[in-house]
Amino acid sequence: MIAVWDQLPQAVANGLLLAALYAIVALGLTLIFGVLDVVNFGHGQLVTLGAYLVYALVSGSFSFWIAVPVVMVALGLGGLLMERFTFRPVRSIPINGLLVSIGWIAIIGNVISAVWGPDQYNMTRVLPGSLSFAGLSLSRSQLLVLGVSIVVMVVLSLVLRFTSGGKALRATAQNREAAALVGIRTRRLDAIAFGVGAALAALAGGLVANLFPLDPSVGDSYMVYAFVALIVGGAGSAAGAVVGSIIVGLAVSLAQTFGSTGVASVAPFVVLIIVLFFRPAGLFRTDHEATL
């Protein structure tokens, strides 16, 4: 019993650090889902691609701090193009957006395998080592993730709340037709939302590369857990995505500490199943009106 209490603070800390990474991915997914109604299953592949590209640049003796923004811009532009040429034509039927994203899984995933093969790669880490604080051991690269994640959340919420473009984005997510009628260029916002979502995936990828060895499926679990977080929180709500990420992060970490890796891999889904069973629209989604 005492051992449990001893382990708890560390488990919670680890959970929050995991949540920070999930949140970056989940916020990108939320932007894309909120504005475009697309469930982008290809997001995990974007995370993986981001990780490999950052790795490639860093091995090519670029600084990590330069490589990450460069890859974010590159994947952001790629996201704009993906939206323009593959998602926009199928907009009218949401399930088709899901199919297109599955097509992208096959394309991006196999580009990665073709270029880098199945081997594992280790990037030279920035910020190695760890800090001890109040009996907790926190790796510095994970603290970087936490810091970046908080910056992303703050910047994103400031942009959405206070800039004209951010408000226009929210307006479009809430009522696309009315948004067009007041002169908001909704198609441009679609592309931008997808681009920003892809850039956030790239950012998450860069951070992953600085934490773990890379293999072609490294991003998959982040996509899956981010989806769980997104839906637990209530799809389309940025605050929901963050809260959902924290719940999932804690679930994984507590299950790892007090259960086993097997339990940990099941825990987020159990959470999701329980939440969706009682609240089919997720925890934070309330402004959904039934129409007949």
Per rule CB under 8 A, is residue 4 in the interface with another protein? no
Which token pair is 96? 């088709």
Q: Which of 59, 120, 124, 260 binds another protein (CB under 8 A)?
A: 260
| Candidate residues 143, 144, 159, 171; the one interacting with another protein per rule CB under 8 A | 171
- Contact between 252 and another protein by CB under 8 A: the answer reads no
Residue among 87, 64, 60, 31 nearest 199 (CA) = 31
**For residues 34 and 205, which CB has a smaller minimum distance to another protein in the complex?**
34
9, 134, 141, 153 from 147: Cα distances, Å: 19, 19, 10, 10
Nearest-angstrom CA–CA distance, 110 and 116? 10
Least Å distance, CB 235 to another protein, is 8
Element (H, E) at 235: none
Contact 138, 127 (CB under 8 A): no
Among 4, 66, 131, 273, binds another protein (CB under 8 A): 273
Q: Does 84 bind another protein (CB under 8 A)?
A: no
Q: SS3 string of 146-190?
A: HHHHHHHHHHHHHHHHHCHHHHHHHHHHHCHHHHHHCCCCHHHHH
Sequence-distant (≥ 6) Cβ neighbours of residue 77 within 8 angstroms: 195
| Residue choice 66, 73, 106, 151 for contact with another protein (CB under 8 A) | 106
Q: SS3 for 2?
A: helix
Contacts to another protein from residues 176-195, by CB under 8 A: 177-186
**Binding residues among 205-244 for another protein as defined by CB under 8 A:** 220, 224, 227-228, 231, 235
Binding site residues, another protein, CB under 8 A: 39, 86, 89-90, 94-96, 98-100, 102-111, 113-114, 164, 167-168, 170-171, 174-175, 177-186, 220, 224, 227-228, 231, 235, 260-263, 265-266, 268-270, 272-273, 276-277, 280, 287, 289-290, 292
